[in-house]
Structure formats: structure tokens, C-alpha cells
Amino acid sequence: MFLFRRGPARVTHRVTHRVTPAQAHQRTAGAARTDAHAPADGARGDAVLLDVREQAEWNAGHAPGAVHAPLSLLLGGAALPVAAQDRPLVVICRSGHRSRQAVRLLTGRGAEAVDVEGGMDAWAAAGLPVLVDGGSPGRTA
């Protein structure tokens, strides 16, 4: 029995399409960017923050300017909301698992997409805003 394999090692590269919450915030146009977390140079991103959590999670709180498209609907073949079509996507869920799944699905459909490492939990922990519809403070769920 050989402990070492002879010949060239097989190297596989797995491309990761992940960004931090701060990078996601910078890359997404989202809200009007007048909040305390706006980039110092006033720059706005061109990507759409796509929240793939379910409706109850979205209702509890979401990032300002995010577009909602539950993963369950995307997996069922639903199209992206108009506001997210033909734009780079930064995909977010609660912890990062569903957003990784959504990125695989969306890139398979030809979209340019990355996911937010740690999801809304990491977004909120980074001190980034979480609101409910109407602008009141929200929470992650």
C-alpha cells in the first residue's frame, strides 16, 4: 500500500464569489447613501443588493434599498424582480448559506452575482442599517 500518490497532484480550484458586508454596502447603490455608513468619497455602487430570505424574515428587517426575491421562488423558476434584472447582484440571506446557493443558480442563468459572507447577521453585526418597510429600525430574523 502506497502512502503517497505518484504523478502530478490534481489541483481543483473552487471559485468563491463572496464579499464582506462592508464591501457589499459599498458595491450596492441601495439607499440614497446619506447614512453614516456611506463611503467617505461619496461613491455609489452599481450593484443591486438582492435579499433571498423568505417573506417573514424580510418583514422583520432588511438592508435599505435591498430588492426582495425569496430563494424558494428563484428555485421554482421565478424571474428576478425588474429592479434586479441586467445588473450586478450582491446576494444576501440570514447567514450566507442560501445566498451561496442563489449565487450558483443566478450565475448559471448568466447573471453577475456574489454573496455576502455571514449574511444579514454579519451585516447587522458590522453596524450597517437594518430597517423595516417605512424606515423604522428592524432586526434580522
Strand, coil or helix: what is 27? helix
Is 93 an annotated catalytic residue? Answer: yes
Tell me which residue of 59, 126, 117, 73 sits closest to 93, measured CA to CA: 117
Select which of 93, 113, 120, 130 is catalytic: 93
| CA-angle at 132, arms to 46 and 98, nearest 5° | 60
**Paired residues of 92 in beta bridges:** 51
Q: Which residues are catalytic?
A: 93
